[in-house]
Every structure is written in C-alpha cells, then in structure tokens.
Amino acid sequence: MINDSKEVLAQLGQTLKKYREQAKLSQDKLAAKCDTEQADISRIESGLLNPGVLVIVDLARGLGISPSMLLEDLK
C-alpha cells in the first residue's frame, strides 16, 4: 500500500505516462486534447503536480480510458 503523498503522486505520474505512451501520444498532443499545458502533463508525470479530480477525468478522456485506470495502482 502506498502511504506517502510523494509516492502516490509518483505512481500516478508513472501510470499516466504508461497510458499516454500506449496511446502513442506526446505530452503536447495529450495536453491539447485535455485543454491544458504540456508543462502540466510533464509535472504530473514527474510527480510534481497534484492534479484534481476533474483533471484526472480530463486526462482519462483524452487517453480514451476510464479515470479509475489512472488510479488502479494506488492501492
């Protein structure tokens, strides 16, 4: 189980990057689909930015996956 908030953000970032790469999207292309900035995608993937629920939903939609899939490894 992940307890530390830094670990949670790092794991979320890794999961986001995994699905983004599987979708063959650059950070720029995902950002454009989600109406956000590439720098924000980079910071989330690096575990430096704590995205809100609506951002997680937007990212999942941009990737064509369920929001729960981005959180699946946070057990």
d(CA 6, CA 63): 24
19-37 mean pLDDT: 97
pLDDT of residue 73: 85
For the stretch 31-69, pLDDT in tens is 999 999 999 999 999 999 999 999 999 999 999 999 999
Q: 5-71 — its CATH code?
A: 1.10.260.40
**Tokens (6 digits) for 45:** 């993937």
Above 70 in pLDDT, residue 1?
no
> Is 34 in contact with 67 (CB distance < 8 Å)?
no
Strand ranges inside 1-75, DSSP E: none
Domain residue ranges in the chain = 5-71
